[in-house]
Amino acid sequence: MQVSQRFIDDRLEQSGRAENNTLTGFHTSLLEVLPHAAAYVAQDGSILVHNKHMKTSCAAKGVFPVPGGLQDLLTEGSWKRCEAVLSAAFSGVPAQASGTILLRSGTPFCHHMICTSFVSLSGERQAVLVQFDMEDSAQDALAKIPSPVPAARKPARSEGEAGFLEHFPDDVLVFDGVDSAEQKAIRLLETINSDYDIGLLVDALQTIDTEGAQSLFIPENRSLETAGYAADRQMCEVRLVPLPEGTSAEAVSGATMAIIRRNVDCPQEVAENRRLAYLDPLTGLENRRAFTRALKLELGRLASDKETGLAVYYIDLDEFKKVNDLGGHDAGDDMLLRVAACLRLTLGEFGTAARIGGDEFAGMVPAANEEGALDIAEKILEGFDRIRLEVGDRVFTIGGSIGVAFVESGLSLRDADAAVLLGLADRACLRGKRFGGSSVQIHCVESTECQSTGVEKVELPEPGSFRGNELTLYAMPIMCLKRKKICGSEVLLRLQGDRARGLSSRAWISAAERSGFIAQVDAWTLDKVLDAAERNPGRSILTMNVSAESARDPNFRDGLYHRLSVNPLLASKLCLEIAERDYLREPATVESFFKFVTELGCQTAIDDFAGHWPVLSRLTSLRVEWLKLEAGLTQQVVEEPAKAAILNGLVRAAHELGIKVIAKHVETAEEAKLLRELNIEAAQGFYFGRPEPWPGG
């Protein structure tokens, strides 16, 4: 510890007393803020100065006044232990003696003796700070002894000032009012060995008189600022405090004490680390820990709110793995950022969004009723539908399955129910995935449901575990609108058997695509379709959907080639369609496949065509015969003239390119009539016939 030489000289000049008095005023003011008995002790055990806790503690044990040295206060055995600790402390190593320290009377004095803060005064004796951690019984006794200092004379210290000295400093500088702020700043930076901005330090020193104590965090040298985490960002904490009353400089206006602690964690980094502990590092959304904590707070509000309920959302992205696999992890990260932005925008300032897993998100927002909760979930899916991520020549889209756990207003739930509530939303989300994804499932929560410790998540069955007799084929008629007769059928894959109950074909096919099993399913379906085409002498077209995985699978291509080589006439009856979404993701793969099957004599189609420009711009060179319109383009077309005008433009553009159009999900005679007026060649939907078991399956 270093003390201002000017201050020491002043003390010597004013007092003219023995060396102990050099310590009395200044260091007593420091000792008095410590909560335990404490003293400055020389290496030979002499007690140079002590605080009032030391005095009252000794008095409580029958020792009054405090002896001049520890060897006079303690038993010989206790003094020997303390002597070893003092020796270590004077060597510059903070040390402590653990275990009961006994007074000469045999009475326990303390449990621990801690030595820190080496003091070196020019021309004076050296000392260390010794703190005595006292027994509870001694502390109780202290509380019963009247303080030797009258209450009216006790110096009043604010809580803030006591907090500044919670840990004793490594260095202390005292400046009187004669030094300018610039001089004080220079001396302080020299002590710390830092080239910190002197202007900032001067400003702080100039405002102490008006604004009180201040705290600064200063690197010891500039390298700490640039070395980053390699230096662990350790700083010097400098606390600037107006010199308290009772010191030798009390008559000098502007006296300041600078208390320095070294190797202190940078508070900005501590705060940042605390913040990051509750944030997802990629998206900046809250993480699972923060979301659960926020959900607990909302449950507390819910118990007293009689008007507004709470909607908790569990969101699992559909086919995110394809974005990672085909576009790379950078594309996957970019997609997650877009999903996060969509959630922030949709949930708004009163909602909370979080990323709780790789492609799993959560959200919550106050909602008046179930209808309001569902409306928000639908807006989230609509936002997902608008996401387009272009990576080279690929365009990625994203969907999601949403489970909603809705808690009515006034329902009282425990804090521990937060994780259970999220589990209920997760289970609802899983139920939606069993129906094929891109759906919303809601569950209205009852208080009894949250008494368990959690909800077990049930996984979808793996497609590879299904047997061949659990797969069957259905056919849905395709109607020629001009001739008003069936011109073909779309072959659809369906599941049958006990294990297929509650699991949609769409969900199972999605699982098959994730597991890499879908090419085998497509090959099985293709064989069934070609077998039926061989038995059917008619010219009816059979269409089947082919996944992008099958399109790039050489075994699937080889199987198709060998079957059509044996009977080339089958090719004219076969139309192979690939979803627009797959085409956007893998345009080169789809274009190569369409060229291959066209040369074999097959027809081709883009399924679920929604009019996206990346597809439209490629239609001039893409070898495709049909566009099968996405359901949203044809539904409600009768009630919305603007929608009919957009559809008319798409149809005309397709016709100019020599491409025919099939409308899907036609359910009324009015829709069929309007589609016919728009010169759409064919249509399918419940109005023309529902899927029926196919003899070929």
Write the DSSP string, 522-545.
Answer: HHHHHHHHHHHHHH--S--EEEEE
Structure tokens at 583: 């085409």
Does 23 have pLDDT greater than 70?
Answer: no
Q: Please count the other Cβ atoms lying within 10 Å of the Cβ belonging to residue 223.
A: 11
Q: Is 3.30.450.20 the CATH classification of the domain at 34-156?
A: yes
Strand partners, 150: none
Residues in the chain, total: 697
| 617 confidence band (pLDDT: 50, 70, 90) | confident
| 536 confidence band (pLDDT: 50, 70, 90) | confident
| 52 confidence band (pLDDT: 50, 70, 90) | confident
Q: Which has the higher per-residue pLDDT, 678 or 169?
A: 678
| 160 confidence band (pLDDT: 50, 70, 90) | very low
Structure tokens at 428: 């609802």
- Give the pLDDT confidence score for residue 51 in this predicted structure: 86
Q: Identify the top-confidence range among 122-126, 229-233, 644-648.
A: 644-648
pLDDT tens for 348-392 read: 888 999 999 889 999 999 998 899 999 999 999 999 988 999 998
Domains 281-451 and 470-693 share a fold: no
Region 583-598 average pLDDT: 92
- Helices then strands, counting H and E runs in the chain, come out as 27, 25
Are the C-beta atoms of 431 and 457 separated by less than 8 Å? no
Across 135-139, 169-173, 507-511, 520-524, least confident range = 135-139
Closest to 602 (Cα-Cα) out of 644, 557, 633, 643: 557
Region 425-431 average pLDDT: 87
Region 259-265 average pLDDT: 77
pLDDT tens for 651-674 read: 998 999 899 999 999 998 999 999
- Give the pLDDT confidence score for residue 144 in this predicted structure: 38
| 153 confidence band (pLDDT: 50, 70, 90) | very low
The model scores a pTM over 0.75: no
CATH topology of domain 171-273: Beta-Lactamase (3.30.450)
- Put residue 19 in one of left, alpha, beta given phi > 0 → left and psi -120 to 50 → alpha: alpha
Does 553 have pLDDT greater than 50?
Answer: yes
Closest to 472 (Cα-Cα) out of 453, 488, 448, 496: 496
Q: Position of tokens 């000469």?
A: 104
For 482, phi and psi rounded to 5 degrees? -75, -45
Q: Which has the higher per-residue pLDDT, 589 or 538?
A: 589
Peptide bond into 537 cis (omega under 30): no
H, E, C per residue of 559-623: HHHHHHHHCHHHHHHEEEEEEHHHHHHCHHHHHHHHHHHHHHCCEEEEEEECCCHHHHCCCCCCC
Closest to 448 (Cα-Cα) out of 404, 402, 409, 414: 414
Distance (Å, whole) CA 143 – CA 386: 71
Q: Could you tell me the residue ranges of all domains in the chain?
A: 34-156, 171-273, 281-451, 470-693
Distance (Å, whole) CA 634 – CA 75: 99
Burial class (CB within 10 angstroms; exposed 0-12, middle 13-18, buried 19+) of 96: middle
CATH topology of domain 470-693: TIM Barrel (3.20.20)
State what percent of residues in the chain have pLDDT above 70. Answer: 75
First CA to last CA across the chain, in angstroms? 91
Are the C-beta atoms of 332 and 323 separated by less than 8 Å? yes
| 640 confidence band (pLDDT: 50, 70, 90) | confident
Are the C-beta atoms of 580 and 609 separated by less than 8 Å? yes
For 406, phi and psi rounded to 5 degrees? -105, 125
Average predicted confidence (pLDDT) for the chain: 78
State what percent of residues in the chain have pLDDT above 90. Answer: 24
Q: Is 3.40.1170.60 the CATH classification of the domain at 281-451?
A: no
